[in-house]
Structure 1
Amino acid sequence: MTTVKSSKFVLVNKADNVLICCQPVKSGELVVIDNQEYRVNTAIDVGHKMARVAIAKLQKIIRYGVPIGSATADIQAGEHVHMHNMKSDYIPSHI
């Protein structure tokens, strides 16, 4: 089991339900942030999001303290949040 320093992710705003990846993270890594453990189930690239908490389908994705889109499926804490499980509420998403 690999434990990753919390510096691999950043919380931009306390209201955010996602964390932003600052360094690539491999699938299977254990990330500990503020004493919360997250098992990363897929690789996450820099700039991508990871769920900070469980996010229900249709719930807003909050980044920068504001909604940036909606979940298209239930998302577990520690799961990669991107075009496969969220959509923008403002611009068309490309699939």
Structure 2
Amino acid sequence: MERFVQLHAHDNIIIALKHFETGTILNVNGNKIKLKEAIVFGHKIAVKPIFKSDKILKYGLSIGRATQNIVPGEHVHSHNLETDYLISDSK
């Protein structure tokens, strides 16, 4: 059984619900996605090509922009994602 979730049909990422090893092949909506690296529980995986400055979609909404090109099967995290969420000063 695949162990990931796609939270919205328009999302260009999925969320890992377990640790995946490099080279694991996932069937995502009929598309075979080969993981480029190990992915840990709770982290994002690209399921479509995402080009630099494209929006990263989770829950059908933008959570940030790609800081570089991201290929399907690649880990999406702070090294290639600039968040839409701002840290506010609560003073």
TM-score, L = length of structure 2: 0.88
1:85 aligns with 2:80: yes
Calculate the aligned-residue CA RMSD, in Å. 1.2
Instruction: Using the TM superposition, give the Cα deviation of residue 91 of structure 1 relative to its aligned residue in structure 2, in angstroms.
Output: 2.2
The whole-number CA distance in structure 1 between the counterparts of 2:62 and 2:83 is 9
User: Deviations along 1:48-92, whole A, 9 cap, x unmatched?
Assistant: 100110000000101011100000000001111001111102226
Matched, 1:34 2:29: yes
Please list every run of 5 or more consecutive structure 2 residues that lacks an aligned counterpart in the other structure. Answer: none
Deviation at 1:30, TM superposition (A): 1.3
Matches within 5 A, 1:1-95: 5-6=1-2, 8-91=3-86
The structure that has the greater radius of gyration is 2
- Using the size of structure 1 for normalisation, the TM-score is 0.85
Runs of 4+ in 1 over 4 A off after TM superposition: none
**Equivalent position SS for 1:14:** coil
